[in-house]
Structure 1
């Protein structure tokens, strides 16, 4: 036996095996990169792997039977000792092994230092700066994960809606696991075309794990490849093959595999629900939901509604499709001016109620019904729906954010900040949550944090936060900066927020009236506001209502704000510490307004606002006497 191994060494068989193994590994790394990049068929990587495995014993036989000489390749038995150069060949093979090992080591080190970045559809927008997304002081739980959009590897590249749908349903399945925090869809999917590393993404989303993958759909066949990473290192990966009929089972397998890898105790319940047995309805649902999430173009919004309507027409028992239709119907009039808001609110209510009747465990329909109640001014009833949604899904950022809004409008700014902070943690890419949290922080006199959040909201494209930046500057005594920030708001949204009062000159006059204490400007603005209210042409909306409060036209504010479209910020802002807000809360008509708007009923159940307390004597017209500071 010793003679046999000695002969193997003499014939350089071991050295050839080392070189073959290293070269084979390097070839597979190249194949792994070019296969998805060139959208080659799935069998390409398998073919190369099989060829390398089959070639190994053949190369060993060749190394045993033949020897390289100056005259070419000869059978080993025919080579004399004088003409043999096997020692020289052995040294060359050793050099090749050393160089190969250095290349392998270099690739491994490069992968650690420069991990693979998630690249997908070039048309999607990435976040401006990942650091803007979340509070860096928030501790990252080991039981937390983000699901990035899965890449579409279909031959034509027209199945992104399907690959996104797969990723979203896996996200929804993971969100059902108690003890696991799952980053929201909007924030996770915003990294579709990001240049951030996986480390930067996980830090921005404040999660310890990142799941990404690919989906290949060919006819009725589906292949899902998923990778779970931590600290930019892949700790689990697997391929799942099936058909459209068992796509929900594939999603379940992936969710269960992730739960097992994260060592989260499961109680045997199914995570990925079977949403529908109708493949056509499911395809329409995915297309409609994808358009809802990715476009605010009028034609796309209308198409999204039509697709969802067709989905429920094919399968009237498809609860998730009804829920999505309700959500899309509620939001559509905000971006499609031709749609009747009242009609679509009713459609949203009916669709959401239908979803609840079919499946009372879905959280979103309750949240949509809560939004409808909040829009209608019934904040007490709205809170019941939002709380129900949160009971069903504690990680529902939409419910958390809306509870924060209602709580802030009711004057409980500290409690509102707690809810909005949770919403921001789940959805750090939603500028709206950061903007509303900035208002809550301003109401709590936390101006530095408020300014930081408002700047982040602006960076994320939520320009209404310029309003908060203006008022924070005014609170610091910088009237010029306050005027500048208010004009930034006009530049981005002025005519859209207030069509009748969209001129730059009027906004500048209004800003100087308050922030620079320009009394002549204030007289002009107040006269214009009062004259406009007497006209039947002007519709009172949120900006106009806010202007009434800020310029001291309190009686008209109390009379009009309840019916004002988009009055959320106006109602939140009456709870800050600005002089006009203090005057408004001390106004004799404020208690009656608080009662008529439902604030008193709300306070009786959820507690008094931060800046008001009940008193014994009752000189007001309200049922319960209180005094505000």
Structure 2
């Protein structure tokens, strides 16, 4: 230490640094006089002080190597050699690092002071730092209690605005609404949603006057952190929403958002259009086919009142996409029509509001409808970038990732969505489905039973139970649960399709014909009635009428392979081989039609082509297994691959396992891929057991159909 101090004295570090401190003191004294004289901002003093103090480490470093004189900087020679070493690259590098470090610390300190100064000027006294919040539906303070949709809409808009703030987790409006409807107090809701704070309040509209009161509550001790009242014209509601969101962020975060910087650029200037839009949102949130049809009408009316209303265009596109036919939708529109309509609405929205997160989330959903998976994923990521708390974007991204086989990423994304929207019925349904797909049927069933208990008017719990009952072979129970789901949402084609599908499996042909005249079911009814000649004539007509549709030719070929002329079936399979892309050819979980094509090519002695198809199916199957997905269809695919590769013992054991766990497909015994097993007594017994199980379920279903006033006879 004595040597160090001696070197410091030799290099005159203190003699150089002390005058610099005096210089700093003198400048600060001058600035303190000048600032009020010229009415400068108090921050000017701070800025100068920060710059001067940031220069101290630089001054200290330079004073080690240079003597500061009136003639300039004089290099200090080394003690031993008494020669001057050049100020080389390494010294410049250290000087640069010191300068950057000092500058960074100075910038961080000055930014903090700026924020505190801005908050003080804004009357904000920050007493609590939080990184999560839930916005409860505002209370309807109107005399007639007829403004709930405005109160709900206000909370939704503020939630959306807050969600754009990085570092602030915002619970989804759907969850807060559900818990509020259950009568829970704000603190209980906060704890249920695992957030630090709650924003609540009341709203009343009288004529063109708007009165809003808000409170920001600490979830840990129920203390009010901030409260404010707003009395404005109703036309100023968007400005009020922005002000509430801005003040909330400034209260909770080490940041400062200026007035007018947190706004909804997709909003309308028409209060009438806004009211209609909010009524549409009220219907949309009910999530049934019927309510979505009503929401669509209301959003169209809102756009009629304001053709520039970007938010309404997005809501309309979202609704139209959800009304597309499909197992995840509420199906009354053909997917291609829904996609076209939704795309048109989104194009209008994005021109008017190019940074609106919800628009990109819906755009991703629309891309997904058209199987444009890369574009869909990009759109979902853009939505999440703009609003990290947008739960619906995470949910739709999860579904897409699951579809393209990225199971691990999908499940992680679902967990994020659930953390933001834990009470969402749709997300809860998806979680139950994931549990089922991972083989935990007991937990999945408990989950769906809870959904039924918590939300008896929602079809989702019944749909989940119906699917599990089907998996374990309880077809009669599955039939009734599908019927219950269909009753709760009569326009949902998926529920009706699954209900009718079980009626066909159990050969309740007259009941099917009473319920529908859709030609889609005709081939299956003809099979039930053993009218095979009529079946093949009908399919030949369909092929002639739709020559460019490979799936009709595949269906016709499949029926031939099961029950007719196998050579004709093989010919049909060969015809479609080159017409399908990879996504269509290897559709999981059956890897169909690739697996059937592999068998057909085997019969034609095209062994190499057959093996290529089989290898790709094995790759797809292994990917699914590694993702912890447990589906009977995967086991069935494994059995078919085993049969095609002459592993008959393995195929038999897998089929026995499938039957024991609920496999009840009547066509198993006719499957040409198991033709090598046809004379095996164990395979014959499996076929007999499946027929017996179907008859048993048929008898169990009869009294239930009588309750539904449906015929129980087959033709």
TM-score when normalising by structure 2: 0.50
Q: Following TM superposition, by how much is the alpha carbon of 1:319 offset from its aligned partner in structure 2, in angstroms?
A: 1.8
The answer to whether the 8 A contact 2:482-2:499 is kept is no
Instruction: Give the match for residue 296 of structure 2.
Output: 305
Instruction: Give the match for residue 245 of structure 1.
Output: 235
The one-character-per-residue Cα deviations of 1:579-629 (angstroms, maximum 9, x if unpaired) are: xx5999966659999x99xx99xx9xxx966659xxxxxxxxxxxxxxxx9
Q: Structure 1: where are the runs of 5+ without partners?
A: 1-140, 512-523, 561-569, 576-580, 613-628
Q: Following TM superposition, by how much is the alpha carbon of 1:388 offset from its aligned partner in structure 2, in angstroms?
A: 2.2
Matched, 1:185 2:178: no
SS at match of 1:179: coil
Evaluate the alpha carbon distance shift between residue 471 and residue 305 of structure 1 in structure 2; reply closer, same or farther with a 3 A threshold.
Answer: closer
Matched, 1:233 2:222: yes
The answer to whether the 8 A contact 1:170-1:272 is kept is no
Instruction: Give the match for residue 208 of structure 1.
Output: 196
Q: Following TM superposition, by how much is the alpha carbon of 1:175 offset from its aligned partner in structure 2, in angstroms?
A: 1.0
Instruction: Give the match for residue 277 of structure 1.
Output: 269
Matched, 1:319 2:319: no
Alignment of 1:131-150 (within 5 A): 142-150=130-138
Q: Following TM superposition, by how much is the alpha carbon of 1:573 offset from its aligned partner in structure 2, in angstroms?
A: 11
Distance 2:181 2:341 in 1: 35
Structure (1/2) with the larger helix percentage:
2
Distance 1:404 1:435 in 2: 13
Q: Following TM superposition, by how much is the alpha carbon of 1:240 offset from its aligned partner in structure 2, in angstroms?
A: 1.8
Moved more, 289-298 or 212-221: 289-298
Distance 1:153 1:251 in 2: 17
Instruction: Give the match for residue 506 of structure 1.
Output: 503
Match for residue 331 of structure 1 among 317, 322, 333: 322
Q: Following TM superposition, by how much is the alpha carbon of 1:362 offset from its aligned partner in structure 2, in angstroms?
A: 0.9
How many pairs does the alignment contain?
427
Distance 2:383 2:220 in 1: 33
Distance 2:464 2:526 in 1: 24
The one-character-per-residue Cα deviations of 1:104-130 (angstroms, maximum 9, x if unpaired) are: xxxxxxxxxxxxxxxxxxxxxxxxxxx
Distance 1:244 1:510 in 2: 61
Instruction: Give the match for residue 377 of structure 1.
Output: 371
Instruction: Give the match for residue 96 of structure 1.
Output: none
SS at match of 1:155: coil
Evaluate the alpha carbon distance shift between residue 332 and residue 207 of structure 1 in structure 2; reply closer, same or farther with a 3 A threshold.
Answer: same
Q: Following TM superposition, by how much is the alpha carbon of 1:185 offset from its aligned partner in structure 2, in angstroms?
A: 1.7
Alignment of 1:98-497 (within 5 A): 142-229=130-217, 230-231=219-220, 233-236=222-225, 237-268=227-258, 270-273=261-264, 275-294=267-286, 296=288, 298=290, 301-332=292-323, 342-447=336-441, 450-459=444-453, 460=455, 461=458, 462=460, 463-470=462-469, 474=472, 484=477, 487-493=480-486, 496-497=493-494
SS at match of 1:195: coil
SS at match of 1:190: helix
What is the aligned-residue RMSD (CA, Å)? Answer: 5.0
The answer to whether the 8 A contact 2:289-2:323 is kept is no
The one-character-per-residue Cα deviations of 1:196-226 (angstroms, maximum 9, x if unpaired) are: 3334322332323222211011122111111
Q: Structure 2: where are the runs of 5+ without partners?
A: 1-128, 509-523, 564-568, 577-583, 602-608, 628-653, 655-715
Greater Rg, structure 1 or structure 2? 2
Q: Following TM superposition, by how much is the alpha carbon of 1:571 offset from its aligned partner in structure 2, in angstroms?
A: 13
The answer to whether the 8 A contact 2:284-2:295 is kept is yes
SS at match of 1:394: coil
Distance 2:575 2:198 in 1: 51
The answer to whether the 8 A contact 1:308-1:321 is kept is yes
SS at match of 2:255: coil
Distance 1:572 1:450 in 2: 28
Q: Following TM superposition, by how much is the alpha carbon of 1:508 offset from its aligned partner in structure 2, in angstroms?
A: 7.2
The answer to whether the 8 A contact 2:187-2:198 is kept is no
